[in-house]
A and B are shown apart, each in its own frame.
Chain A
Amino acid sequence: MKASVIIFPGSNCDRDAAVALQAAMGTPPAMVWHGDAELPASDLIVLPGGFSYGDYLRSGAMAAHSPVMREVVKRARAGTPVLGICNGFQVLTEAGLLPGVLMRNASLKFICKDVHLRVERKDTLYTRRYAEGEVVRFPIAHKDGSYFADDETLERLEAEGRVAFRYCDMQGRVTAEANPNGSRNSIAGIYNDTETVLGLMPHPERLADPVLGGTDGTKMFRGLVESIAA
């Protein structure tokens, strides 16, 4: 299996994603500079967290227009799985691969802490190792993580089962208190209409090693590798 991690100027979770991918795949992913003319053949493309272009203009807005993204969009439309974490999720919405937008947190502050998420579906490329409705713990670290989409889009996402993860409490209850950033419908991550593209604000790669205090993220990377191999 071949994975590529795209590095934009200002990406800063590229190494973290690579470490988690390598642990799951056994081989290191290709690290692709945004200005590189060619995107290598990839079974998986990862857009990592960070502050691409300093988040100037709008989070992810400038990265979405960088040369490499034209190829990423083409591959995504052709069915290559694309995972966008945090800033990567913001880039995916700005590039039009996912609907909606990530707005400033309701608290107006950067928030870094562990949150609980409910896994809404277990039958996707990304979630085969989770149980449906399983409550997992991932860290968040963002200032612009409040998911917003208009009513019509939200209804479509819900109806089509495209909500991947929802913020919840330890027991899996989706409550206002458990929503860290004001996201509509407590949405933490969504799929595209073929469930091959996933964008999420929380960081599975940060709890994918027992020494860091948890391994809930490991299941996503392992499951993804198994799905792609299958």
Chain B
Amino acid sequence: MQSIRTSRMAKPNPKITPELVAEHGLAADEYRLLTAVLGREPSLTELGIFSVMWSEHCSYKSSRVWLRQLPTDGPQVIQGPGENAGVVDLGDRQAAVFKMESHNHPSYIEPYQGAATGVGGIMRDVFTMGARPIANMNALRFGAPDHQKTRHLVAGVVSGIGDYGNCMGVPTVGGETNFDPRYNDNILVNAMCVGLVDTSRIFKSAAKGVGLPVVYVGSKTGRDGIHGATMASAEFDEASAEKRPTVQVGDPFTEKLLLEACLELMQEDAIVAIQDMGAAGLTSSSVEMADKGQVGIELDLDQVPTREETMTAYEMMLSESQERMLMVLKPGAESAARRVFSKWGLDFAIVGRTTDTGRLVVRHGGVLQADIPLSALAHAAPVYKRPWTRKPAPVATAPEDVPAPNSLLGALEDMMGSPHLCSRAWIWEQYDHMVMADTVQRPGGDAAVVRVHGTEKGLAISCDVTPRYCAADAHEGAKQAVAECWRNLTAVGADPLAITDCLNFGNPERPEVMGELVEAIEGMAEACRALSFPVVSGNVSLYNETNGIAIPPTPAVGGIGLIPDIREMARIALERDGDALILVGAEAGHLGQSLYQEIITGRAEGAPPPVDLASERRAGDFVRALIRQGRVSAVHDVSDGGLLVAVAEMALPGGLGVELDAAPQGLPAHAVWFGEDQGRYVASTAPGEIAHILADAAKAKIPVRVIGSVAGDALKLPGEAPLSLAALRSVHARWLPHFMGGS
């Protein structure tokens, strides 16, 4: 145990009371552990530092033991979890750097700034590693449309995401949005960023070397965001709106300068380690860099650029002011670095040195404010194997037990006009999705595709999870999220490479919520292994819960895939009159937890559709090969809403109608057209190609059947009045702008 240097230690002021400990989100036994590892009572600054480092948000204390199950390796993986973002090889000495992160709690309290700083934070994670961000995505869950806060939250979140990404000049190329009353009091804002880096210039956060300068760059430190990480580790209650001051304020212009300055300095041989100041700001960045480099670190807070003169050490260590970075430089690199940052008009200050003590030592005003062994902060955080219960698997619903609609096309019209399936153009038109001039597939398809600049290669990106499936069965739902992401990447012709995840759950101290987390991780791990689709980065967001009511388990998955030649990719829009439409994959008419149930019968019954991972892989590999061989043109996966919705989504963008054949015998027609069986694709192909495709499919034991042909300007089903695309388009386009317009 280290000696206590109380003579030079700032007075613990105020006195550390049990109430103060509780306010810092530390349990009584956690505080006992703290005093044990420290060997004494902490100062207030030290208490603050421990509270953020040991928060759920930073320490993963509830999820850590389970996250180990996720596969993180593969020949394509250059960097798995543990750095600022994951890195995957793209060949030709280039790599993709990507991560998804939640900003749920702040976005509910202050939607514009909460969402904006979520985007800013995830981009910093990516360019910290030396990558230029080339695409953003987001996965948003809002409450019911008729909830009083929903419109305000949608408007704020969308403009916050847009204003930040637009100013940065990084295209926001897509995402997904759900409305569900279970998110009424806890919305989810998950932001993903993908960057491109030369494999020889990947930067990491280990501060190896003693006596090196620790440099602070970017914006000045203010009082915003103090305790953001702790807020993100607690439930909401009626008083949560009072937490607005803990939400950070974003400045995308400064971040754009920070991006350019960092990338410019990274061209020189100056940086040993770099870490962005995100959650828990200066505390977390300095602890992580020093701990990974197995050194100590001394900080002189008098050197930290501040917005206000009277900030205390406590405030400076816990501030989550945005657009800041901490770097450890090579000896003698200070002046070169200072030159670059002053060119870009950014603050640059040497705030400390690395040491050989293994301790975090913080001084302010010449007074010692904190002196803590780094291992205590980084590794001594409690790890909980919290009690959990497994929910009984729901009973599957037989297709016959779900009532049929009066008209299939009438049901389709209702579904396409619903909040769940209507056009999201109102959202993505507020995002600059074309800047950088490499967006080769814009929002609205299965996956967005951005060209790898200066090459013929494309990166496909998709974000997926179906919360209603996860609510019914977290294991199958999480499996499905991974499979659907893999499928979406496959549908544009990409080889799926790897995923990042955002595990959004309720309060893990409740065994049923902990059970959802455990089961979801199991399901994800199973799917990742079967599809060779490892997890390379991600985050966990717990306590998405208000007054004891939790969100549905929402393991959001963000995946990337590589298209070797973008001239060979597939798109969602039907292109040629007279083409045949084929369905790839097995049909079972699963209507459990389907959108058909939710929208048409108003129920949410049964088990979600199971995912057979072996069939999933076979069907996907088959479709990808057809795309690469140029044997199919338009391709779309079958997901929310089932087959008829998939066909409609292919018809609308190209303005080409479809004449569909009658559903095959053996299943009710509405189960065929609206069942959400997994592992399926619709593709269009020249009529002369059909016999060959059917023969190849039979050989590969993959069910394929012809479902109709491209013709006219309406959707037609035998025995029903045609549904014109003009009518369908207007229904599909109407709901969201109408709702946001206040009606």
Contacts and interface: CB of A to CB of B under 8 A. Distances in A.
A and B associate: yes
A124 to B, nearest CB: 24
A141 B169 CA distance: 11
Interface string B401-437: 0000000000000000000000001001111111111
Contacts of B254: 54
B256 A51 contact: yes
A212 B440 contact: yes
A10 B256 contact: yes
Contact of A211 (B433, B440, B442): B440
Contacts of B433: 112
Interface in A40-76: 49-51, 53-56
Interface stretch (B159-167, B206-214, B389-397, B682-690): B159-167
B166 A9 contact: no
Interface in B242-260: 251-254, 256-257
Contacts, number: 88
B566 interface: yes
Contacts of B256: 9-10, 12, 51, 54
Contact of B430 (A9, A55, A112, A139): A112
Contact of B257 (A10, A13, A141): A10
A120 to B, nearest CB: 24
B179 interface: no
Q: Which of B159, B343, B428, B434 is the most central at the interface, judged by chain A CB atoms within 10 Å of its CB?
A: B434
Given A141-B432, A141-B435, A12 B257 contact: no
Nearest to A217: B437
B159 A109 contact: yes
B508 to A, nearest CB: 38
B345 interface: yes
B566 A16 contact: no
Contacts of B622: none
Given A111-B429, A139-B434, A51 B166 contact: yes
B284 interface: no
Given A110-B166, A111-B429, A113-B429, A54 B253 contact: yes
Contacts of B430: 109-112
Contacts of B257: 9-10
B344 interface: yes
Interface in B522-566: 566
A15 B439 CA distance: 14
B451 interface: yes
Nearest to A17: B437
A205 interface: yes
B168 interface: yes
A206 interface: yes
B167 A16 contact: no
Interface in B566-623: 566-567
Interface in B225-270: 251-254, 256-257
A219 B252 CA distance: 34
A47 to B, nearest CB: 15
Nearest to A51: B167
Main secondary structure of the interface of A (DSSP, over half): mixed
* Size class of the contact patch on chain B: 20 to 34
Contact of A112 (B252, B431, B438): B431
Contacts of B344: 9
Contacts of B169: 12-13, 50-51
Nearest to B740: A109
A19 B435 CA distance: 12
B437 A112 contact: no
Contact of A9 (B345, B431, B436): B345
A87 to B, nearest CB: 10
Interface string A166-207: 000000000000000000000000000000000000010110
B432 A112 contact: yes
Nearest to A208: B437
A226 interface: no
A206 B434 contact: yes
Nearest to B431: A112
Interface string B130-157: 0000000000000000000000000000
A12 B435 contact: yes
A109 B251 CA distance: 18
B163 to A, nearest CB: 7
Given A16-B436, A20-B437, A51-B256, 4 more contacts: A9-B344, A54-B253, A109-B159, A213-B440
15 contacts: A9-B345, A10-B253, A12-B256, A13-B169, A16-B436, A20-B437, A49-B435, A50-B169, A51-B252, A54-B254, A112-B430, A112-B432, A141-B432, A206-B434, A211-B567
Sorted from nearest, which 9 A-B pairs have the closest CB atoms? A12-B169, A54-B253, A16-B437, A51-B167, A141-B432, A112-B432, A110-B430, A206-B434, A110-B162
